[in-house]
Amino acid sequence: MSERVALITGSTSGIGAATARRLARDGYAVALHSRRSADVGKKMAAELKGASYHQADLGDEAATRGLVAAVVQHHGRLDVLVNNAGESIRIPHADLKAATPAVWRRMLIMPANPSASRMPTSRPRRPRCGGACSTST
Ligand SMILES: NC(=O)c1ccc[n+]([C@@H]2O[C@H](COP(=O)([O-])OP(=O)(O)OC[C@H]3O[C@@H](n4cnc5c(N)ncnc54)[C@H](OP(=O)(O)O)[C@@H]3O)[C@@H](O)[C@H]2O)c1
């Protein structure tokens, strides 16, 4: 229970998966997460020492809060939060109007209520470290 714990949202592929593997190598117990790809998440959790996998659609505020609660319940603590989940959507420079609010929501996973952040903690662009650390991709 004394191992530092890192929750990496959207960690079944891409940047999130690479971040999770790196943090696991650095000695963190990683809490893996995704929206749909549960098989991949469970396989990764079996490969990484002390890891767990949690499924939640972060477009749903209640599910988002449930994710954090599930991680704390499983690991007993949460030291690092990497806000990574989101879709990479390419917008051609010649068609910037294609970046509609709906597209931004898919990329940033903003809940329906825009005054709420996408995770219960804030989402600063730079790491803010002390007792806990939160960062984003
Ligand atoms: N800062 C930068 O310059 C930069 C550059 C590129 C990307 N990014 C950001 O980095 C993040 C990862 O990019 P990537 O290309 O590595 O993505 P990716 O390979 O497509 O992986 C996306 C991950 O996020 C999860 N996800 C997507 N929508 C979700 C939702 N509504 N609820 C919960 N999980 C969700 C996916 O789960 P499922 O597969 O199960 O759906 C998957 O695990 C994105 O947020 C992207 O916008 C930032």
Query: Which domain CATH number covers 124?
Result: 3.40.50.720
CA of 4 to the centre of ligand 1 (A): 24
How many structural domains is the chain composed of? Answer: 1
Q: Cβ(136) to ligand 1 under 6 A?
A: no
pLDDT of residue 46: 98
pTM attached to this predicted model = 0.86
CB of 135 closer than 8 Å to CB of 124:
yes
E strands, 9-132, in order = 29-34, 52-55, 80-83, 128-129
Query: What is the residue range of 23's domain?
Result: 5-136
Q: What is the pLDDT of residues 59-115, one digit of tens each?
A: 888 999 999 999 999 999 999 999 999 988 999 999 999 999 889 888 887 543 334
CA 1 remoteness from chain centre: 21
CA 137 to centroid of ligand 1, rounded, Å:
9
Q: Which residue has the higher pLDDT, 33 or 129?
A: 33
Q: From the CB of 75, is ligand 1 less than 6 Å away?
A: no
